[in-house]
Amino acid sequence: MHQEKFPGSQPPFTFNSIHVSSRQSTLYVPVLLDDNGKVMEMYHKPAVSGSASATVIDTDHGKALRITGSGDIGIQIRQTYAKALKDPGDAEKFINGFALSMVNNAVPQDNLREIWVYSENGGEVLSYLVNRDTISGKYIMMQTREPVRLVMGWQTVRLSVDAGEARRSE
């Protein structure tokens, strides 16, 4: 029997992927905050591959994920929500119900965000992605367009922003 899938029949999700190639290093990268300004639960148990550890810390620029390690490091952080979003108002609230910590607000553009990143040694190569998807069509994605080579200390990294409605063939 063929069972038809309807948009919105699966729960929405938030995903953060961080990839770092380096020798021994310590980095601070942004985390996602909920609509109350608290670090999202998904950061309490990140999936870390490679020789690394990751913990949430406070910095002068806001909350950050502190990554310490060496070599090829991958961090995958995902949060799936309890129920599907049936109402268009709920989908809109979900898409807008978060903030990225450590944003440089001096560059406010719709399709661009600058984030603060810290590198203890410099020379690391960073790729950063955030995807928040309602499954029913609305999404927002922020990512480095290409891997970024970091310098020592605090610096800004540009993320491109893509938001809208995706057509899904289920």
Q: What does the pLDDT look like over 103-149, one tens digit per residue?
A: 987 655 678 889 999 999 999 999 999 998 887 778 889 999 999 99
pTM of the model: 0.85
- For range 72-85, the mean pLDDT: 86
47-63, pLDDT tens digit by residue? 999 999 999 999 999 99
Average pLDDT over residues 65-83: 91
What was the pLDDT predicted at 26?
96
Quick check: 114 and 107 in contact, CB under 8 A?
yes
Q: What is the mean pLDDT of the chain?
A: 86
- The per-residue b/e assignment along 145-159, b for 16 or more CB within 10 angstroms, e otherwise, is eeebebeeeebebeb
pLDDT at 154: 98
Report pLDDT for 87.
Answer: 72
Separation of alpha carbons 57 and 151, rounded Å: 21
Token pair belonging to 21? 């190639």
What is the bridge-based pairing of β-strands 98-100 and 32-34? antiparallel
For the segment 90-102, the average pLDDT, to the nearest whole number, is 83
State yes or no: pLDDT of 86 exceeds 50. yes
- Bigger pLDDT: 154 or 12? 154
Q: What is the domain partition of the chain in residue ranges?
A: 13-165
Query: What's the pLDDT at 29?
Result: 97
